[in-house]
Amino acid sequence: MIRNVLSIAGSDPSGGAGIQADLKAFSARGVYGMAVLTALTAQNTQGVSGVHLVPPQFVADQINAVFADVRVDAVKIGMIANAGIADAVAAALADHRDIPIVIDPVMIAKGGAALLAPEAVDVLTRRLLPLATLLTPNLPEAAALLHQSVATNRAEMAEQAERLRALGPAAVLVKGGHLDSDESPDVLATAAGLHWFEARRVPTKNTHGTGCTLSSALAAELAKGASVQEAVAIAKDYLADAVAAAGNLTVGSGHGPVQHFYALWKDSE
């Protein structure tokens, strides 16, 4: 059976991040993708120049319309933008705790633009994090959620992963891509303890949408029945290959997108 996965996130008209990246990752991982928009952005590979938010009630209406008709096997939550939308999403998903929910706390764009209002952080923490099967912050996002300084080593990463899991998510994957080293380790905190995923840093500027792509691949694997640890291993391998193949694309002059369909587009080799 082909699984159905819903993304609740913002739009990237240049196609590298947000809903567009989510739908590409869902398709590449063999699941049927659906999308609820929380925001429209004006952005490209060089940065975000504008954000137009969807009214919270209409975000909820979109979610309710999907669940009223379609079997949803997993949900990925990306850009939430403000407290009103965070509240609306939490309320709409409150009766659907029986399916995997992956939250990628999109807070800052690759170019530095803020994508989450400061007052929304506490609502996200209080109402959405307890719904999460898996939370996937990078180092600045983990620090912002905890109101701490950004982790600079493995010990601090592990401590923040545990502190975030204490806020309600069943599991937390803190991503180490912002560490100042040749390595890019991620740490997964679950009820069973900590598990490290090792990776070498790929020398490329084509990293637009990597967080969106990883969280969507994770939701796809959880929808297909993988455990959280299995899903992380599979999704990280997929993303690594997508980043490695990013040079086959010629999209923009800034942080380019990853090649979601490296395994399917043979003419890209």
The set of catalytic residues is 175, 207, 209-212
Burial (CB < 10 A; 0-12, 13-18, 19+), residue 198, is exposed
Q: Which two tokens stand for residue 1?
A: 């059976």
Whole-angstrom CA distances from 126 to 130, 169, 206, 222 are: 7, 11, 34, 24
Nearest to 105 by CA among 146, 137, 139: 137
Nearest to 208 by CA among 81, 83, 110, 85: 110
CA distance 73 to 64: 15
DSSP state of 116: B
CA distance 175 to 197: 9
Q: Which two tokens stand for residue 51?
A: 């954000």
Nearest to 259 by CA among 44, 24, 46, 43: 24
Q: Which two tokens stand for residue 63?
A: 């979610």
Check: CB of residue 29 under 8 Å from CB of residue 217.
Answer: yes
